[in-house]
Amino acid sequence: MEINFKPNVPATMAHLKGVYERAVMVKTQHDKTLAEFNGEVAKRRADVDRRIQETDFSRRDDAKRLYESEYSDWLRAHRKATSGSRWKDAAEMQTLRDQAVQSRELLANPIAIATVYKLGSPERNAVAMEVNGLGPAALGNLAKVAVGSKDKAMIGVLVLANDRLPAKIRPFDSHDLAEMGFGDDAAEAAKLIHTVDRLHAESLAAVRASEGTPLKPIESIAHGLKFERAGGMGPQPHVKGPKPETATTKIAEGLAAL
């Protein structure tokens, strides 16, 4: 029997898409804010360089010290005055990144999704009652039907039922069946999580650079490790791809013969 717990895969996916869309908007605004800040800095820097070059050669060293001191004071004040606007979006990007990573617990891979898809719902409970006690041959036949009809609730039940059998008599590979039912969902979720994490990293690097304290290589590496330890997808999202032929790949072949 299935437990009475109802994690909501569609709602979690919808939330993740919303997080991604918001992250794109915030990143766009952050890029604009930093472009304006950097433009002001570049303009002031160019003016300082021009004034130094226009100074008579005999007084240029003294003028350079004066103009550079004035520029440093201005830059310090400018950074302080704009700190709130430059860091506000970066802070929101951190929040969005954390939300995206949290969704990975439910959308990590096809098996994770299959395990909880419509768990506790009347639809899945009815399928679980139907499958309960069936042998390997019957489960294999149902797997063909589930794939052919794209019945995700049945695929989820069959993945769990198959895993309960001794490995030697399992009629199909659970990972392959889950991939058939939920591979696209897992790939999309992984891509969204990976993109939000990348946008956050870019925002952090850019705002740190605007402060004159750019990320060091070891900090960039640490950021990547932190993402993986927090449950993120790491540098490579889940992507569907060809697998070696297993017992379950015969399901698709069997459908053609039905």
pLDDT in tens, 191-229: 999 999 999 999 998 999 999 988 877 776 665 545 444
Rg, Å, the chain Cα set: 28
Number of Cβ within 10 Å of residue 198's Cβ equals: 15
Does 4 fall in a domain?
no
Does 3 fall in a domain?
no
The domain in which residue 242 lies consists of: 9-257
pLDDT in tens, 83-133: 999 999 999 999 999 999 988 888 878 998 998 888 888 999 999 999 988
Does 225 fall in a domain?
yes
- The number of folded domains in the chain is 1
73: tokens are 């004071």
Does 156 fall in a domain?
yes
Q: What is the DSSP letter of 113?
A: H
Does 124 fall in a domain?
yes
Does 1 fall in a domain?
no
Does 183 fall in a domain?
yes
SS3 (DSSP) at 119 = coil
